[in-house]
Amino acid sequence: MLGAPGVGKGTQASLLAQGQGVPHISAGDILRQEMKSETNLGREAKSFVNQGKLVPDELIINIIKNTINGRNYQKGFILDGFPRTIVQAKALDSLLQELGKKIDVAININVSNDEIVKRLSGRRVCENCKENFHIEFKAPRVMNKCDRCGGRLVIRDDDKPETIKNRLEVYKNMTEPLIDYYEKKGLLENVSGNKSILEIKRDIEEVIRKKGQ
């Protein structure tokens, strides 16, 4: 899943994983768990994430490698938030080749920067189960309380207004080149993110259906 911060990659990856019956690998969730647990990796990653910067390649690549080597990921998976750089993309290609796997499709969700700022500033996440909400687009039934587990909803450090601008600049310089990278490989499919969640879900499912023909 490709796209700038706030376009809905996590939401769509989760829905797609449920529909396809394969695991959803969220690089961001894995890192946040490391940070919450105060592991060595978590402490190192936190200094970058809180500034809206990308976590160094070597840290995230090792996490992804350990994850997809697991038994539950042998039938496929959906990557969300990785790769984020060309270096990571090439490392992923090498890793998948080593494991006898390949990328079937790279889905890029397109949303304007103005809309992204609006989405990010209103996003809330459950500090317990990591379910995502939004004060306007996906409000919880009870304010600041997770519908799924009852946990407290919080604003992620990297969703605070002071870091949003920097996150978008980082994306433009370091992650946006992946669009061209996967387009040249014939794997890229663009999907508009300026629709409802269910409409975007249907568009993505149609892309996958066509790819499977």
- Domain of 120, in residue numbers: 9-191
Of 32, 123, 130, 201, the catalytic one is 123
Tell me, yes or no, whether 86 lies in a domain: yes
Tell me, yes or no, whether 203 lies in a domain: no
> Alpha-carbon distance 2 to 88, whole Å?
13
Burial of 47 (0-12, 13-18, 19+ CB in 10 A): exposed
Using omega within 30 degrees of 0 as the cis cutoff, is the peptide bond preceding 83 cis? yes
What is residue 213's predicted lDDT score, i.e. its pLDDT?
Answer: 53
Say whether 123 is catalytic: yes
Tell me, yes or no, whether 126 lies in a domain: yes
Tell me, yes or no, whether 1 lies in a domain: no
Tell me, yes or no, whether 210 lies in a domain: no
Tell me, yes or no, whether 53 lies in a domain: yes
Of 53, 65, 145, 156, the catalytic one is 156
Say whether 124 is catalytic: no
Those residues whose C-beta lies under 8 Å from the C-beta of residue 203, and which sit 6 or more positions away, are: 191, 192, 195
Residue 109 is encoded by which pair of tokens?
């969700």
Of 119, 124, 130, 167, the catalytic one is 167
Of 9, 32, 46, 124, the catalytic one is 9
What is residue 12's predicted lDDT score, i.e. its pLDDT?
Answer: 94
CATH number, residue 27: 3.40.50.300
Of 84, 124, 130, 201, the catalytic one is 84
Say whether 71 is catalytic: no
pLDDT tens for the chain, residues 1 to 213: 999 988 989 899 999 999 989 999 988 788 887 788 887 878 888 888 778 777 888 888 877 887 888 778 888 999 998 998 899 999 999 989 988 889 999 999 999 888 888 888 888 999 999 898 988 888 999 999 999 999 999 998 878 877 888 888 888 988 899 999 999 999 999 999 999 899 999 999 999 988 775
Of 177, 166, 125, give the one whose Cα is nearest residue 149.
125
Say whether 167 is catalytic: yes
Of 123, 125, 152, give the one whose Cα is nearest residue 137.
123
- Main-chain dihedrals φ then ψ at residue 149, nearest 5 degrees: -125, -5
Instruction: Spell 131-160 as b/e; 16+ CB within 10 A means b.
Output: bbbbeeeeebeeeeebeeeebebeebebbe
Which pTM value belongs to this model?
Answer: 0.75
- Total tally of structural domains belonging to the chain: 1
Say whether 84 is catalytic: yes
Tell me, yes or no, whether 202 lies in a domain: no
Place of tokens 């994306």: 171
> Alpha-carbon distance 165 to 160, whole Å?
10
Tell me, yes or no, whether 200 lies in a domain: no
Report H helices in 37-144: 40-49, 57-68, 86-99, 113-121
